[in-house]
C-alpha cells in the first residue's frame, strides 16, 4: 500500500516535472558545470570563465533563437553565418566612412536592413518559388559570404575608438567591473548576455503566446492543416526567414562591437549553433520548438570546448567529449520529451504492482484498447 502511494507520488512528480519546459537540459547544464568544477577547479570556481562565456555565447544564442523558430516551422537556415559577417561589415564600414559619433547608429540600421534583406530573399526563394530551404539557404550562405569577402577585399576592418562610443557601452559594456568579490577583482558582466536573455524572453513569447508563433508551429506540424485553418503559410514563411535574418544581424552587430574588429570569418559557427538548438529539444521534424531549451543548450555547447581544454586532458579529446555530451543530451530529450518520461514511470508502476501482488501479466492490462495501439 505504501509502495503504491509512493510510486503514484513519483509518477505525478515526474509527470509535472516533464511539463517544465527545458528542465532536463537545464539539469544537464548544471551537471556539466559541476563536472568542470570538479575536474578543473582552478578555472571553474572563479567568475572569470563564466564572464567569458557570457561574452562569447550571446551571438551564437541569438542566431539559435531565430533558428529555433525556423526549425519549428520545418525549415532550416544555413545562411546565418554569412549574415553575421555581412552585418558586421555594414557596421564597420559605416563607422569608418561616416561620422564617428552617429556613424555606428547608421551602421546598426544598415546592418539590420542587410540581415532583413538576406532573410527576405531566403523567404521568397523558399515560400514563393518552392525551393527547399536547405538548398536555398546553402546557396545564400555562399552568395552573401562571397559578397561580404568581396566588399571587404578579404581584409579585416578595425573599429578604432569604438570602445569609447556610447553604443559599445550600451550593447556590449561590462557591469560591475573591478568590484572586489571574494578578494578578487570581478572582470565585469558582459551586457550582451542580458540583451540575449531579453531577446530569448521575447522570442519565447512570440513562439508560445503570439499568433505568429502559433502559425509557425502549425506550419511545421502540417502545412496543409495550417492552410485549411486559414493561416497564410507563404507569408508566414517569408516573415520567418526575414526575422531570422534580423536575428543574425543583431548577433553580427554585438560580435563586431564587442571585439572592435570586423573579421571576414566571423560568425563561422553554423554547426555549434545547430547543435545548441537540437540539444535544446527542438524537433528536427518541425512542429515543436523550445526557446528555453535553446537557451541552456547553447550555453552547454558554447562552454564545452573551453571547459574540456581547462581540464588539461589532451586537446584531442575535446571533440570526443563534445560529441558524447551532445549525443547524451539528445537521447535524454528523446526519452523525456513528449511525455515519454510519464510513460516510463507508468511502466515502473506496472512493474512494481506486478511484483507486489504477483498478478499474471495478462491481467495487468487495465486499458486493452491502449495496448492494441
Partner 1 sequence: MTEHRPHEFALQMVNIEKYFGPVAALRNINIQVGRNEIVGLIGDNGAGKSTIVKILTGVYRPSSGELYIAGRKVDLSTYSVRKAHEYGIETVYQDKSLGEKQALWRNFFVGRQITRRFGFIDVKKEKELANEIMLNTIGFRGRGITVDSKVSKLSGGERQGIAIGRAMHFEAELIVLDEPTVALSLKEVQKVISFVHKIKEGGKACVYISHAIHDVYEVADRFVIVDRGEVVGNIRRSDVTLKELDEFLLGYAHGLKDKQE
Show contacts with partner 1 in window 185-214 (CB under 8 A): 205, 209-212, 214
Least gap, CB of 360 to partner 1 (angstroms): 24
Least gap, CB of 220 to partner 1 (angstroms): 8
Calpha distance 316→276 (Å, rounded) = 22
Calpha distance 157→317 (Å, rounded) = 34
Residue 222 found at the interface with partner 1 (CB under 8 A): yes
According to DSSP, residue 371 is labeled H
Residue 368 found at the interface with partner 1 (CB under 8 A): no
- Neighbouring CB atoms inside 10 A of 319's CB total 12
Least gap, CB of 287 to partner 1 (angstroms): 4
Tell me whether residue 187 is exposed, middle or buried, using C-beta atoms within 10 angstroms of its C-beta: 0 to 12, 13 to 18, 19 or more.
buried
Calpha distance 356→363 (Å, rounded) = 14
Residue 235 found at the interface with partner 1 (CB under 8 A): no
Least gap, CB of 7 to partner 1 (angstroms): 18
Our CB check for partner 1 shows the closer of 136 and 206 to be 206
According to DSSP, residue 353 is labeled H
Residue 288 found at the interface with partner 1 (CB under 8 A): yes
3-class SS at 81?
A: helix
Say if residues 273 and 65 touch (Cβ distance below 8 Å). no
Say if residues 78 and 270 touch (Cβ distance below 8 Å). yes
Query: Please, which residues have CB within 8 angstroms of residue 285's CB and are 6 or more apart in sequence?
Result: 74, 220
Show contacts with partner 1 in window 27-66 (CB under 8 A): none
Least gap, CB of 372 to partner 1 (angstroms): 9
Residue 360 found at the interface with partner 1 (CB under 8 A): no
Query: Of the ranges 24-32, 176-184, 268-276, 282-290, which one interacts with partner 1 (CB under 8 A)?
Result: 282-290
For residue 360, what is its C-alpha cell? 499474471
Tell me whether residue 337 is exposed, middle or buried, using C-beta atoms within 10 angstroms of its C-beta: 0 to 12, 13 to 18, 19 or more.
middle
Least gap, CB of 294 to partner 1 (angstroms): 17
Size of the residue set binding partner 1 (CB under 8 A):
25
Show contacts with partner 1 in window 124-163 (CB under 8 A): none
Residue 96 found at the interface with partner 1 (CB under 8 A): no
Binding test (CB under 8 A) with partner 1, winner from 150, 180, 367, 371: 367
Q: Which residues bind partner 1 (CB under 8 A)?
A: 205, 209-212, 214-215, 217-218, 221-222, 224-226, 228-231, 283, 287-288, 338-339, 367, 369
Amino acid at each position: 500500500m505504501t509502495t503504491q502511494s509512493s510510486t503514484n507520488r513519483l509518477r505525478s512528480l515526474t509527470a509535472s516535472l516533464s511539463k517544465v519546459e527545458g528542465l532536463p537540459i537545464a539539469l544537464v547544464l548544471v551537471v556539466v558545470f559541476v563536472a568542470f568544477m570538479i575536474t578543473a577547479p582552478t578555472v571553474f570556481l572563479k567568475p572569470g570563465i563564466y564572464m567569458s562565456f557570457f561574452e562569447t555565447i550571446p551571438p551564437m544564442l541569438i542566431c539559435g533563437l531565430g533558428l529555433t523558430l525556423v526549425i519549428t516551422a520545418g525549415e532550416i537556415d544555413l545562411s546565418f553565418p554569412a549574415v553575421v559577417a555581412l552585418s558586421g561589415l555594414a557596421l564597420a564600414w559605416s563607422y569608418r566612412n561616416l561620422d564617428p559619433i552617429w556613424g555606428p547608429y547608421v551602421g546598426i540600421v544598415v546592418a539590420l536592413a542587410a540581415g532583413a534583406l538576406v532573410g527576405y530573399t531566403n523567404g521568397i526563394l523558399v515560400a514563393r518559388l518552392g525551393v527547399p530551404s536547405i538548398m536555398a539557404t546553402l546557396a545564400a550562405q555562399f552568395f552573401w559570404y562571397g559578397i561580404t569577402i568581396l566588399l571587404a577585399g578579404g581584409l579585416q576592418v578595425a573599429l578604432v575608438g569604438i570602445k569609447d562610443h556610447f553604443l559599445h557601452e550600451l550593447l556590449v559594456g561590462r557591469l560591475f567591473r573591478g568590484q572586489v568579490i571574494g578578494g578578487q577583482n570581478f572582470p565585469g558582466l558582459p551586457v550582451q548576455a542580458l540583451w540575449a536573455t531579453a531577446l530569448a524572453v521575447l522570442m519565447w513569447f512570440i513562439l508560445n503566446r503570439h499568433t505568429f508563433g502559433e502559425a509557425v508551429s502549425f506550419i511545421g506540424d502540417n502545412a496543409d492543416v495550417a492552410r485549411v485553418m486559414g493561416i497564410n503559410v507563404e507569408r508566414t514563411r517569408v516573415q520567418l526567414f526575414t526575422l531570422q535574418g534580423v536575428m543574425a544581424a543583431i548577433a553580427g552587430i554585438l560580435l563586431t562591437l564587442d571585439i572592435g574588429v570586423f573579421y571576414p570569418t566571423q560568425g563561422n559557427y553554423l554547426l555549434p549553433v545547430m547543435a545548441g538548438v537540437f540539444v535544446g529539444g527542438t524537433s528536427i521534424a518541425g512542429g515543436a520548438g523550445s526557446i528555453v531549451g535553446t537557451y541552456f543548450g547553447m550555453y552547454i555547447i558554447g562552454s564545452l570546448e573551453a571547459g574540456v581544454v581547462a581540464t588539461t586532458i589532451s586537446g584531442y579529446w575535446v571533440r570526443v567529449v563534445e560529441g558524447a555530451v551532445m549525443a547524451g543530451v539528445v537521447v535524454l530529450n528523446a526519452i523525456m520529451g513528449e511525455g515519454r518520461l510519464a510513460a516510463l514511470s507508468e511502466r515502473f508502476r506496472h512493474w512494481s504492482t506486478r511484483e507486489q501482488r504477483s498478478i499474471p501479466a495478462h491481467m495487468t492490462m487495465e486499458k486493452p484498447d491502449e495496448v492494441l495501439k
